[in-house]
Structure 1
Amino acid sequence: MDKVVDTPAAAVADIADGSSIAVGGFGVVGVPEFLIRALQDQGAKDLEVISNNAGVDGRGLGILLADGRLRRIIASYVGENKEFARQYLSGELEVELTPQGTLAEKLRAGGAGIPGFYTITGAGTQVAEGGMPWKYDSDGNVVKESPAKETKVFDTFGEEKEYVLEKSLAPDYALVRAAIGDRHGNLVFHSSARNFNPPAAQSARITIAEVEKLVEPGEIDPDMVHVPGVFVHRVVPLTPEQVADKPIEKRTVREA
């Protein structure tokens, strides 16, 4: 039951080329920074990543992008990372853009064993009709686009509306960051760092969590657990120096 792994390097050592990986975080908040750095050092390539965005230039998934290690990204947001946009538009990277709430639910449903679900989000748009650019060539021509999705009309609250069938996501691995974790893998996230971390953690076949504070089993109030240990396979405690390494995405100050 003790799931503690001493180092990030040991925790990601078995991630193979071509693996699919869900990564928690939103911008620079709640990003498993040190698991990502260990994966960069480990050398796995041709990875498919599922994440709200691809971090920022030089942080988080941005370092794997810069190394050309990502083959495909399922995300809801391209902004804040110039290299992400450049690779997508130049044909170096395949990108499946997904509505943000739909992406979160695709991960959550995957963790719950639900293969798909209907949602009104995207009905009547290219999300349902297909034709969204997934991959360009070097000349800017679309060479791969999203397929049309199955739709169905449901009577909801006395009104018939069209819904879109979305398939769930169950990646090979998930990398997440928690404020507190115990040796059994129970996790607690701090404030907005909760973001995509819980659905990512629940979705994967193997979930690896870096934690800012490691406690013993029983020290976390069961009512405070955000992700139960049954979903988590490896726990990596961070050093105080690693915990303190937290960037500010956009620093703004008022005039003196």
Structure 2
Amino acid sequence: MVPFSFCAQEMVLLEGSGSRPGALYWPREDALLVADLHLEKASFYARTGQMLPPYDSRETLERLAQAVRQTGARRVFALGDNFHDSAGPERLEPHAAGMLDALTRALDWVWITGNHDPELGTAAGGTCLAELTVAGIALRHEAHPNVTEPELSGHFHPRLEVTARGRRIRRACTVASETRLILPAFGALTGGMAADDPAILGALQPAQAIDALIPAQKRLVRYPLWRKAA
């Protein structure tokens, strides 16, 4: 776990496993934050004849439960596209449904709706909101451009590609400006967008600098993505 400062708050980035992203822990709120779980994505595609292994929800929830144990978090904020569609909770197989039920009963759980699950409702347990402000920081699915309020969001699935020792490495990352963070997609069946894609850089404007953040070996690695011209 790697601590860093964001908008006068201590935050902690959890290291993922391999190419899998970690989560964000907010000690002041005793809260774990994740984005873009896309639960039941495989079953969604199966309905159209694209057969994928039906274990994505179980894998994602197992990793999420591990992050809760690692941090001791008492709250979870899930920042949108929690299910691949609003009917996703109805397709959970019994094991995954039991895992999710245990988590939402044990924790103060808030689902922020996204573009994939705008009508999620209460079927998944917990509390469902369009967005929420906690300690002056807005929690929403997609970053609002041209705002200066502190903000945590997801939506873009940012990933960084770098060359290290002659090898091309691709890692999920958090993208940060001075007042806003875009979290990586946490779900097992989620792709990614280049962290320096114009859509991501534009969503974080106005900014002085935008960096990709990757926790590695108990330190925070910052990769510059964009700097405002002098």
What TM-score do the two structures reach when normalised by structure 1? 0.35
Instruction: Please state which structure has a larger fraction of its residues in strand.
Output: 2
Instruction: Please state which structure has a larger fraction of its residues in helix.
Output: 1
Larger relative contact order (CA 8 Å, sep ≥ 6): 1
The structure with more radius of gyration: 1
